[in-house]
Homo-oligomer: A and B are copies of this chain.
Amino acid sequence: MTDHRPLTRNQALVLETLTACEEPLSAYAILDRLRGEGFRAPLQVYRALDKLLQTGLVHRLDSLKAFVACAHPHEHGGEATVAFAICENCARVWEFSDSTIEDRFEAWAKAENFLTRATTIEISGLCAACREAGAPGEPGQPGERGA
């Protein structure tokens, strides 16, 4: 199923950009950072992202409309359900999974005869560092997304 051919130049550049960045980046923010490498159009980014999403090297955060490199020690091929905690202040992301949570979702699906294909879990809030440093709105370090 997982195709795993080596990454192309565009795919590698997009992945490097995301890996080098602590925060999620929008597709257009990635584009801007890769103009020096010859990127000119959104599609070049979106197409690379499509592939990286398929292979699990990158995740899309629906609540931010942005993308992050997978930073989780787990193997994503195993299709484990992953949750993302996103700090609204510094924009950092934590990936974690919990087998009990997975079990409960499976139980619900079984009871309802629902065939699960994908599960999206995103938690927004304040990370430990930002709780101490600043306040729930006061930017400690704003952590600008985008350009």
Contact = CB atoms under 8 A, between A and B. Distances in A.
- Copies of this chain, complex-wide, total 2
A124 B118 contact: yes
Interface residues of A, number: 34
A7 interface: no
A62 B118 CA distance: 14
A87 B118 CA distance: 11
A2 interface: no
Interface in A105-125: 105, 108-109, 112-125
A85 B112 contact: yes
Top 5 A-B pairs, shortest CB-CB distance: A113-B128, A62-B62, A115-B126, A117-B125, A116-B125
